[in-house]
């Protein structure tokens, strides 16, 4: 990893690549107040069970009230942890998310929110953009893009609220990739946003155009946020799981996947728990794949070593993606800034003075209240 005063990765407090063989302690989530959208089923429910058992205060929000309330009742009994709650939340509805955050902060024993998982998601049951065009109708019908409302607009609402609440968490600190591991448990207050992408963030899935679009959007959100969220002291991470057997897999999906190896929900929980527990980790994307055995060749390449493997092979399910983006940003910035500086020098002071006069005249015309370098759309 590059390390210099110009390094975007350093400025953004991005932590080192994750070594999945390095142990982490799940008890580091103890006392954290964690919100999970879509927490009544699948991944959300599994995160809820694991973190509740480790002593976290967990509040789940979901549109499915029956499932949400019954899982909270069951896990309270199983864990004897009473700081567990369900609040109705429809992520597509801004006010519903505002209420979810507000009520959760009131229920939090320390009044703050330490971490949020933007997990709620749906798949496309009736793929909108894959239908043949209907040539016999008058005006083309409006497309059904509800998948985008849940998986992308909902995640943007959650992110906006996370960036509002997390920096206000009493006693929390900005992410510190160099923190001493032995002192982790001393400061449970955190400011963590965990986004849930998918393999569909990285490559297309046929018949899931809107799903893929939404999950590419989540990846874009992660990549953009991880270079700016540090200004709020917030750490942001992403997981991108491969297919896992949960309620989201459509009947067609099940038919297509028949016979294939799927990823395991335990590995998704493991990846999310590592990112949740270890507040040194920031700006990382963990891909969770099926468990496979791999072996390193003499040239240093990793290769699949067959179902049974051999004595030299290792079983893996976690991989890192988008590891070098920020370093590439550094190179890009250095190049572009260098070129811009050279152009600036060639233009000389006369061009600068002309541009400045034009900018000042515009300010006089539009008023001095221009606070953004982009023009607003009103």
Ligand X SMILES: NC(=O)c1ccc[n+]([C@@H]2O[C@H](COP(=O)([O-])OP(=O)(O)OC[C@H]3O[C@@H](n4cnc5c(N)ncnc54)[C@H](O)[C@@H]3O)[C@@H](O)[C@H]2O)c1
In the list 75, 104, 116, 122, the residue contacting ligand X (rule: CB under 6 A) is: 122
What is residue 275's three-state secondary structure?
helix
The site that binds ligand X (CB under 6 A) totals a number of residues, namely 29
Q: Nearest distance from residue 320's CB to ligand X, in Å?
A: 16
How far is the CA of 343 from the CAs of 6, 22, 25, 174, 349, in angstroms?
21, 48, 52, 38, 12
Candidate residues 105, 193, 196, 234; the one interacting with ligand X per rule CB under 6 A: 196
Could you tell me the smallest distance in angstroms from the CB atom of residue 191 to ligand X?
A: 22
Rounded CA separation 87/10 (Å) = 38
Q: Do the beta carbons of residue 221 and residue 195 sit within 8 Å?
A: yes
CA dist 159 and 102 (Å) reads 15
Site for ligand X in 129-168 (CB under 6 A): 150, 154
Report the nearest approach of ligand X to the CB of residue 60 (Å): 9
Q: What gap in Å lies between CA 216 and CA 38, rounded to an integer?
A: 19
- Count Cβ neighbours within 10 Å for each residue of 195-218 and write b for 16 or more, e otherwise: bbbbbbbbeebebbbbbbbbbbbb
Q: Does 38 help bind ligand X (rule: CB under 6 A)? A: yes
Whose Cβ is closer to ligand X: residue 53's or residue 262's?
262
Kindly give, in sequence order, each residue whose CB lies less than 8 Å from that of residue 274, ignoring residues fewer than 6 positions away: 18, 20, 24, 281, 286
Identify the residue among 24, 28, 43, 86 touching ligand X (CB under 6 A).
43
Q: Which is nearer to ligand X, 175 or 217 (CB)?
A: 217
Residue indicated by tokens 């059904």: 144
Gap between the Cα atoms of 179 and 169, Å rounded: 19
Per-residue x/- track, 242-261, ligand X (CB under 6 A): -xx-xxxx------------
Among 14, 15, 33, 41, interactor with ligand X by CB under 6 A: 41
Please tell me the distance from the alpha carbon of residue 318 to that of residue 192, in angstroms, as a whole number: 20
Q: With binding defined as CB under 6 A, does residue 289 bind ligand X?
A: no
90 binds ligand X (CB under 6 A): yes
Indicate whether 7 belongs to the interface with ligand X (CB under 6 A).
Answer: no
- Rounded to a whole number of angstroms, the minimum distance from the CB of residue 328 to ligand X is 26
Binding part of the chain for ligand X, among 32-40, 77-85, 295-303, 339-347 by CB under 6 A, reads 32-40
Q: Which of 14, 50, 81, 119 binds ligand X (CB under 6 A)?
A: 119
- Closer residue to ligand X in complex, CB, 18/288: 288
CA-only gyration radius of the chain, Å: 23
Which sequence positions are flagged as catalytic? 211, 215
Please select the residue that binds ligand X; options are 31, 55, 112, 121, rule is CB under 6 A. Answer: 121
Decide: is 269 part of the binding site for ligand X (CB under 6 A).
no
Among 12, 29, 42, 169, binds ligand X (CB under 6 A): 42
How far out from the chain centre does Cα 89 lie? 19
CA distances from 241 to 29, 235, 290, 360 (A): 22, 20, 9, 51
Residue ranges that bind ligand X, judged by CB under 6 A: 37-38, 40-44, 62-64, 89-92, 119-122, 150, 154, 196, 198, 241, 243-244, 246-249
């Amino acid at each position: 990893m590059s390390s210099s005063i110009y390094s975007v990765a350093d400025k953004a407090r991005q932590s080192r690549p994750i070594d999945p063989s390095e142990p982490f302690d799940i008890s580091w989530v103890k006392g954290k107040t964690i919100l999970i959208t879509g927490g009544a089923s699948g991944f959300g429910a599994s995160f809820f069970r694991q973190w509740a058992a480790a002593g976290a205060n967990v509040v789940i929000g979901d549109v499915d009230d029956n499932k949400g309330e019954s899982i909270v009742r069951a896990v309270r009994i199983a864990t004897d942890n009473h700081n567990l709650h369900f609040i109705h939340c429809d992520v597509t509805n801004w006010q519903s998310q505002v209420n979810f955050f507000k009520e959760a902060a009131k229920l939090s024993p320390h009044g703050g929110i330490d971490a949020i998982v933007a997990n709620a998601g749906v798949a496309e049951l009736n793929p909108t953009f894959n239908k043949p065009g209907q040539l016999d109708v008058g005006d083309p019908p409006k497309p059904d893009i509800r998948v985008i409302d849940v998986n992308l607009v909902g995640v943007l609402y959650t992110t906006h609220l996370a960036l509002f609440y997390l920096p206000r968490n009493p006693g929390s600190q900005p992410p510190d990739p160099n923190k001493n591991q032995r002192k982790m448990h001393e400061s449970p207050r955190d400011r963590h946003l965990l986004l849930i992408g998918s393999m569909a963030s990285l490559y297309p899935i046929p018949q899931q155009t809107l799903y893929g679009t939404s999950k590419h959007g989540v990846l874009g959100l992660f990549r953009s946020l991880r270079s700016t969220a540090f200004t709020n002291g917030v750490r942001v991470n992403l997981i991108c799981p491969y297919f896992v057997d949960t309620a989201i897999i459509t009947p067609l999906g099940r038919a297509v996947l028949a016979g294939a190896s799927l990823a395991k929900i335990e590995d998704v929980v493991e990846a999310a728990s590592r990112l949740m527990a270890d507040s040194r980790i920031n700006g990382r994307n963990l891909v969770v794949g099926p468990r496979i055995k791999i072996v390193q060749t003499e040239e240093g390449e990793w290769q699949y070593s067959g179902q049974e493997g051999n004595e030299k092979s290792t079983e893996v399910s976690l991989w890192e993606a988008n590891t070098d983006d920020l370093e590439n940003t550094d190179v890009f910035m250095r190049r572009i800034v260098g070129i811009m500086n050279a152009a600036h020098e060639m233009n000389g002071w006369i061009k600068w003075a002309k541009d400045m006069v034009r900018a000042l005249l515009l300010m006089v015309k539009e008023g001095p209240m221009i606070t953004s370098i982009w023009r607003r759309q009103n």
